[in-house]
Structure 1
């Protein structure tokens, strides 16, 4: 697509097109299938009884805290089933309790490492419910990168307190 095509569209159309591209692409499809396929074994290995309820996010926090000791350790383990399925699970709790949906950039930018990672976001149809208080961003829907949430837990340490992942659910209510 040329710059001229982008210039002729309004922000709403561009935002919708980006949302659609991030919603339906092979990178996301493969990642979701891999994590869902790993979930049963992951769940058994980590205590069973994973019900996708809000309170189970406390267990995810504890699990990450038990196995990951630092931010560097998290990035070292990022592509292991432990972390990838934990990310998928945390996102699925958002999806099932707050109606968010998975997204992933089909063509991530090397200059933007977060564009390589999956995230959950409120559906485009609810765009109008979220306004940027500063009026800068057209798309102010809450977006959650589960890995970023785990990073925040590690950076904040014990002062984050149990329930940090659960508190993020309120953004999408």
Structure 2
């Protein structure tokens, strides 16, 4: 899966989000410090901006920074605080079960063979987590995405 961690499709997406982050940050009028605590502010911002999942997904599919940058930001919070790294299919997925959006994952141990899916290092798709806010209800929080990394 190493080509999933370094490929033109992923690297182009990461560069675009990193470049869009300063303008998005200014537009939100908030200080984004990549801490776990900042996820509460990110969640409030998303819940205020989008009326529901359909509106959020439409914005995501059209490539709007109001969704893409928060997805990148959530992944970066995990990367900077828990050691995950970005991954993305190097080619456009053709099967509906393949992830279309980038995700973060803890590094695999060198030479490790995983017999069970539960043994694979934890994965977080920030876009799935953000979409879930509008499906799972008010008791679901972005902060919950970090629980699997706190051991």
> Same fold, TM exceeding 0.5?
yes
Misfit runs of 4+, over 4 Å: none
User: Does residue 1:124 correspond to 2:108, yes or no?
Assistant: yes
Aligned residues between the structures: 147
> Which has the greater radius of gyration?
1
Corresponding residue of 1:6: none
Cα 1:127–1:99 change in 2 (3 A) is farther
Corresponding residue of 1:106: 90
Q: What's the Cα RMSD here?
A: 2.0
Distance 1:93 1:61 in 2: 13
Gap runs ≥5 in structure 1: 1-17
User: Does residue 1:64 correspond to 2:37, yes or no?
Assistant: no
1:81 pairs, out of 54, 62, 65, with 65
Q: Give the TM-score of the pair, scaled to structure 2.
A: 0.88
CA deviation after TM superposition for structure 1 residue 153, in Å: 0.8
Gap runs ≥5 in structure 2: none
The CA deviation string for residues 7-66 of structure 1, in whole angstroms up to 9 with x for no partner, is xxxxxxxxxxx2x01001000000000000000110011123110011000111111111
Question: Hey, which of these two has a bigger chunk of helix by percent?
Answer: 1
CA deviation after TM superposition for structure 1 residue 116, in Å: 1.7
Distance 1:77 1:113 in 2: 21
